[in-house]
């Protein structure tokens, strides 16, 4: 699919990788509907995209709220005069060991249910609802071909202190296969990109010692940039023979 022909939703697009995707798509002439809980960030993305060949439409979106997802997809379809793509990018971190023992007191500390639910609600349930609503709209309107790009993570292979995040990202990669098989008859492809450590506001908030240790284990010798991930996303969007697979883009890092 040509980028200029896309009428595509980008979730979690107010900053970081999502904002980068939005501007790259608009540079190529695509119409983009961007959603995020951070309204100030959305306004900044729209402002920065003024004058680009494509169009950027923005509206607040909480992907963990099913009704909000349904309303957002309907709005995006109306705003863009159609809908044929989704980049499922929204995500949060609430890291913590499932069970740990306090070194000083010996007290056993468990991962809170709220930490689990928050991450699953955004990274998995919200992402799933977005796919459901976007594909439903495509099928209802006869829009084809269509394309979905799920943003997974190399943490899906397992990463200490990320039971919730790992579960969500692993499920998203697995469902990339499931959905590709289900949506094939509708002319919709589904692919995924799994970033390693990328320079975003999310990773900038990491403990510096942990961050340095991770970077030291990346064979290419540096943290990734949003552009590195965009190149993989662009491939998935454009290659009509790519389907049901996840691309790791991690500089060779093995978590």
- CATH code for the domain of 53: 3.40.50.720
Does residue 78 form part of some domain? yes
- Residue 182 class from Cβ within 10 Å (0-12 exposed, 13-18 middle, 19+ buried)? middle
Q: Report the C-alpha gap between 171 and 125 in whole angstroms.
A: 10
Place of tokens 């290659």: 239
Q: What pTM does this model have? A: 0.96
Question: Contact at 8 Å (CB) between 225 and 196?
Answer: no
Does residue 250 form part of some domain? no
Does residue 255 form part of some domain? no
Does residue 46 form part of some domain? yes
Nearest CA among 134, 122, 150, 128 for reference residue 8: 134
Q: Which residues are catalytic?
A: 165
pLDDT of residue 214: 82
Does residue 99 form part of some domain? yes
Number of domains in the chain: 1
pLDDT of residue 207: 77
Does residue 18 form part of some domain? yes
Q: Report the C-alpha gap between 49 and 208 in whole angstroms.
A: 32
H/E element, 166? helix 163-183
Span 160-193, pLDDT tens digits: 999 999 999 999 999 999 999 999 999 999 999 9
- In terms of residue numbers, what domain contains 28? 3-245
Nearest CA among 201, 197, 193, 200 for reference residue 233: 193
What is the per-residue burial (b if ≥16 Cβ within 10 Å, else e) of 134-145?
Answer: bbebbbeeebee
Whether omega for the bond prior to residue 114 falls within 30 degrees of 0, making it cis, is: no
Quote the tokens at residue 10. Answer: 């980008």
Does residue 43 form part of some domain? yes
Span 26-52, pLDDT tens digits: 999 999 999 999 999 999 999 999 999
CA dist 113 → 11, 127, 159 (Å): 25, 20, 19
Higher-scoring residue by pLDDT: 120, 253: 120
Span 125-158, pLDDT tens digits: 999 999 999 999 999 999 999 999 999 999 999 9
pLDDT of residue 148: 98
Does residue 49 form part of some domain? yes
Q: Report the C-alpha gap between 63 and 175 in whole angstroms.
A: 18
Collect contacts of 218-223 with beta carbons under 8 A, ≥24 apart: 218/250, 218/251, 218/252, 218/253, 219/251, 219/252, 219/253, 220/251, 220/252, 221/251, 222/251, 223/197, 223/198, 223/199
pLDDT of residue 210: 79
pLDDT of residue 255: 65
């Amino acid at each position: 699919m040509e980028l200029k022909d896309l009428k595509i939703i980008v979730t979690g697009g107010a900053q970081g990788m999502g904002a980068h995707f939005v501007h790259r798509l608009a540079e190529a002439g695509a119409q983009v509907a961007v959603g995020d809980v951070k309204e100030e960030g959305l306004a900044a993305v729209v402002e920065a995209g003024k004058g680009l060949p494509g169009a950027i439409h923005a509206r607040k979106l909480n992907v963990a709220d099913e009704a909000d997802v349904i309303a957002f997809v309907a709005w995006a379809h109306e705003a863009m005069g159609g809908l044929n793509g989704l980049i499922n990018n929204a995500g949060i971190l609430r890291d913590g060991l499932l069970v740990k023992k306090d070194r000083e007191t010996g007290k056993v500390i468990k991962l809170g249910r709220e930490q689990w639910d928050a991450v699953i609600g955004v990274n998995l349930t919200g992402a799933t609802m977005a796919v459901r609503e976007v594909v439903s709209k495509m099928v209802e309107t006869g829009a084809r071909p269509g394309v979905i790009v799920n943003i997974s993570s190399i943490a899906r292979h397992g990463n200490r202190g990320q039971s919730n995040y790992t579960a969500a990202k692993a499920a998203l990669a697995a469902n990339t296969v499931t959905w590709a098989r289900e949506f094939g008859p509708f002319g919709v492809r589904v692919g995924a990109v799994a970033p390693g450590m990328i320079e975003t506001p999310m990773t900038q908030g990491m403990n510096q010692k942990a961050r340095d240790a991770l970077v030291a284990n990346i064979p290419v010798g540096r943290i990734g940039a949003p552009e590195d991930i965009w190149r993989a996303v662009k491939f998935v969007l454009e290659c009509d023979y790519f389907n049901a697979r996840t691309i790791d883009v991690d500089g060779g890092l093995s978590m």
